[in-house]
Chains A and B, each alone.
Chain A
Amino acid sequence: MLRDALLIAGKDLRLELRSRVALNQVLPFALLVLVLFAFALDPDRGLLARATPGLYWVAVLFSALLALQRSLSVESADGNRDALRLSGLDPAGIFLGKVLAVATQLAVLEVLLGVGVAVLYTTRITGWVLLAVTCVVATASIAAAGTLFGVVAAGLRVRETLLPLLLLPVLAPVLIGATRAFEAALAGSPSEGWPWVGLMGVFASLYIVAGVFGFGPLLEES
């Protein structure tokens, strides 16, 4: 299972390295969202500074939607879904591999977006440990839930509109949790952030387990 996961993750990341879709399109989009927030909220009145953690995670969520669509459209073209099914790879391994690849791309995006926030919104960054752990669990949550619901929506004509409808309400706890944890870290009181990390940990575990068991039936059909 793990070997299959690494194989699939390697394949997806190699695809990304060669096509650079996430780097050339998703990342600029994320930075664009940051700039748009600055236009919408007047940066001089301190609104932007207070809302920074929330804006950061909304930008991550929207970019994650794009990254997920990309990760799934790779599999739907040219009957790749059938090829995956015939490959003899463990469905759980395929799921974990896709999650790993998306999570890796999101992690890179989060670091660069973090630099963007620090520069554009002049945020003073404190509480590094909490920030890093929050990023890890939140990214795992987004990637796991996103891949599972992405496959639910995959291969359908309505998938672009269906995925956000399915995924965003489900990810609401992650947005709340990651935002509060970031607020706690930036406010210099990390102890308030750790319960949120725990909640997101439960969320990520739930979706990884659901994906490991649910991916087989989802791939088999049609």
Chain B
Amino acid sequence: MTTEAHRQDIDSTGSNGTRVLGIAALIAMAALALFGLVLSPADANQGEVVRILYVHVPSATVAYIGCFLTTIGSAVYLWRRSRWWELVAYASAEIATVFTSIVLVTGMIWGRPTWGVYWVWDARLTSTAMLLLLLLGYLAVRRLPADHEVRTRRAAIVGLLLVPNVIIVRQSVQWWRTLHQKPTLLANGVGAKIEGLMLFSLFVGFIAIGLVFAWLLIHRFRLAWLEDQLDEAGLDVAIAERRAEGAAS
């Protein structure tokens, strides 16, 4: 009976709460498509390309939030041995990796018509690329083919240093580039005055991407939690089987 109820439980990682969240995310994405692609005007300088930024900027924000969650989760895990926080760190690192990739790809697509090149060695671009590499390093450690304890403990050390690393990398890259040229490239992009419908579209973008981030994060966390349980249960089942074999012979 209990196993049946258990099986019901693990049929999906959804719950009523996440279903509502998921529907809200879908509606917000539809609204973002409407405002971003149809209702908002083209930019005076950038033309139609500006529409990419309604996805690009919010993605960068949630990617940073994911990094912070990874560092906080790793710190709490090391401090309190809290498995829950360890899984939060792992799940947010994965989602942050996805959004960092989205930031880089949309940024390059935006940069080609705006600057004429896919890539410039601008401080922001370079530090975002380094952020992606640091996240990949964390994930590589977290997915090591080793004991659970070894993986989580070592990944937590890497995760703890993630945000300090990002800050130092950012600082160094900023100095490095500003010694040669002022970071004016983005000044007429994101930093420029935006108002009216464009500002509102960006706002919708923040809500839509934020909801998608939360939805993905919750599901990824639940999946990681179930994987964790499965690891343990799998061991128990194997032990029970061997014992049964021993009793039979």
Using a CB–CB cutoff of 8 Å, the interface residues on chain A facing chain B are 148-149, 152-153, 156-158, 162, 165-166, 169-170, 172-173, 176-177, 180, 192, 195-196, 199, 202-203, 206, 210, 214, 217-218, 221-222
B: residues with CB less than 8 A from A are 78, 130, 133-134, 136-137, 140-141, 144-147, 149-150, 153-154, 157-158, 160-161, 164-165, 168-169, 171-173, 175-176, 179
Nearest A residue to B136 via CB reads A165
State whether B137 touches A165 (Cβ < 8 A): yes
Mostly, the B contact residues are helix
B102: min CB distance to chain A, Å: 20
User: What chain B residues lie within 8 Å of A196 (beta carbons)?
Assistant: 175
If A158-B144, A169-B134 touch, does A176 touch B172 (CB 8 Å cutoff)?
Answer: yes
A170 to B135, CA, bound (A): 11
Write the nearest CB–CB distance from A126 to chain B, whole angstroms.
20
- Give chain A's interface secondary structure class: helix
Contacts of B134 in A (CB 8 A): 169-170
The complex places the Cα of A172 from the Cα of B158 at a distance, in Å, of 16
Asked if A222 meets B145 with Cβ closer than 8 Å, knowing A170-B165, A173-B169, A176-B172, the reply is: no
A202 near B168 (CB under 8 angstroms)?
A: yes
The answer on a CB contact under 8 Å between A203 and B175 is no
| Cα distance A177–B153 in the bound complex, in angstroms | 31
Q: Which residue of B lies closest to A149 (CB)?
A: B158
Measured between beta carbons, the chain A residues less than 8 angstroms from B145 are 156-158
In the bound complex, CA of A157 to CA of B158 (Å):
18
Contact B153 A218 (CB under 8 A): yes
Q: Is the CB of B149 within 8 A of A152?
A: no
How near does chain A come to B97, taking the closest CB pair, in angstroms? 13
The smallest beta-carbon distance between B115 and chain A, in angstroms, is 23
Separation of A166 and B133 alpha carbons in the complex (Å): 8
